[in-house]
Structures are given as C-alpha cells and as structure tokens.
Amino acid sequence: MKQQLIMKLLAGMAGLGIALGAATAHASPEADRQEFIKYYTSKYPDVKLEDYVYGALAFDADSKAQYDAIMEFPPFEADIEKGRKMWETPFKNGKTYASCLPNGGKQIAGNYPMFDDAKGKVVTLQDAINDCRTTNGEEAFKINDMKTMGVLTAYMRTLSDGMLMNIKVEGPKAMAAYEDGKKTFFTRKGQLNFACANCHVQNAGTRLRSELISPAVGHAVHWPVFRGGDSLVTLQQRYDGCFKQVRAVPPAQGGTTMNNLEYFHSALSNGMPMKASVFRK
C-alpha cells in the first residue's frame, strides 16, 4: 500500500518542469508567484485564490467547517497568553521587545524572512527576536524551543494578523539567496527522491493516505501552527519533518539552507493576509 502511494506521488513528475517552467528558471520572484498561481487556479478553477491561506482546507469544505468550529474557541489560547506575558515582561535593563523592533513589533511579521544587507544573509522573525534579546543583554533562545521561541513567536504573529505578506527580494545578493531557496524547493532529496514541489505543487489537492496535500501558495501566512490543538510547530520544524519523511538528512534549522528555503517559500504568498494563530490536524 505504501509503495502504491509513493508511485502515485511519482506519477507525472516528468511534467513538473513543463508545468512550472518559469518557476524553475531564473525568473523574478513575482513571475514565480504568478506562475504558481496560474498553475493552481488552472488545475482547481473552483477554489478561490484567497482561500489558499487555509492550506489543504481550501480543497475540503467539511474540513474547513470543522476548522471554523474549532477556531471559535481555540484550544491553544493558554499558549498565546504565555507568549503575551513573555512579550510584555521587561528585560533586566528595563526594555522590552517592542522597544527594539520596528513599529513596536506590530504589523511587521509579514516582512520576514528578509535579506539583511549588513549581515549579507536572510534573517527570519526568530532571528530578529534573538537579535533584540542579545542587544539587550539577554541570552538568545534556541530556534526550535517551543516553550520559549515558539510561544513568543506565536503571540508576536498575532500582532500582524491580517497584514499582507510582503517579502522583498532586492539586489543580487538577495536574489542569490532566493534562488538558493528555490533550488532547495525543486531539488529531489532523500531515499524517496522527492522535492518539496512534488507534493506541494504537482500533488497539491490530492490525498496522501487520508490527508489532503496543501499548495505552496498560502503556506507561509499561518505558521507557527498548533497541530492537534496544542502541539506548536514552526515552519522550519515542518521542513525538518518533510526532509525526514523522504528519508533525507535535514539541514539545521536556522541555518542558511533552511532560511533561504523559507525566504523563497514565503515570497510565494506575497499579497496574502497573515493568519495567526491557527489550528491544523
């Protein structure tokens, strides 16, 4: 049965480059985004583009209805409250996160990841939080520590709920980082020889076992998510899981490869509203 599922995902892979020719060449980020949108909307003309912020739920009305019911009384409100308390608790020097982030930390999450020209690399929202901490004499959080960085980021994203994703790729160095992330997205990896695109482009909207596969456009607007109601997962943790599921050794979370992948991946959702915080199965 498992082998049949794998073969189903592999079917038609040869046509992926043709279907997304512009996205696999050195196209501009906006051209890539438009090519992805064209691909999805042609394949699923009855699905509204604005519904892609809900991921795989866009393809299943019953699942979306269940999601709406759960979100009326989110099971993760206690975690968001923990993040709020962390956000508002002053550092030892009396300053706060709001004092060292643009616009007091409000309506900025959709700008991340961003390319930092001074550092010559992509920085994520988590990097910005840690920069704030170390600048104020505090120790940096571990990127994948959900009790600290996870809940703090989950709360901080609520300060940008509804903001339109606004990832900028300007200049040759930023473009090189974007292209590196795109290469990772389209490169087959692991013993199963899958690329991110094989699932989230070629097979978006189809089922793997009992679960629908989500489209890449709209992905980045709703992370971190609370899976199963209370298990917090960041976008890079999900990347980590995907690498392992195709039996590949994942790059380090917070490292260049992961950050560049998030940079490319997030740019695909430009113009879509942030959704924070959300439930996923």
Hey, which residues are catalytic here?
242
Q: Which helix (H) or strand (E) holds 88?
A: helix 77-88
Neighbour count for residue 163 (Cβ, 10 Å): 19
Q: What angle do CA 182, 110, 106 make, to 5 degrees?
A: 160
* Paired tokens of 77: 């409100």
Nearest alpha-carbon partner for 226 in 155, 160, 164, 167: 155
Q: Which helix (H) or strand (E) holds 152?
A: helix 151-158
End-to-end CA separation in angstroms for the chain = 23
Is 161 exposed, middle or buried (CB count within 10 Å of its CB: 0-12, 13-18, 19+)?
A: middle
The phi and psi torsions of 231 (rounded to 5 degrees) equal: -100, 105
- Rounded-to-integer distance, Cα 262 and Cα 274, Å: 15
- Rounded-to-integer distance, Cα 175 and Cα 125, Å: 19
Give, in order, the Cα–Cα distances in Å from 47 to each of 33, 103, 212, 253. Answer: 17, 35, 14, 33
- Rounded-to-integer distance, Cα 229 and Cα 6, Å: 29
Secondary structure (3-state) at 123 = strand
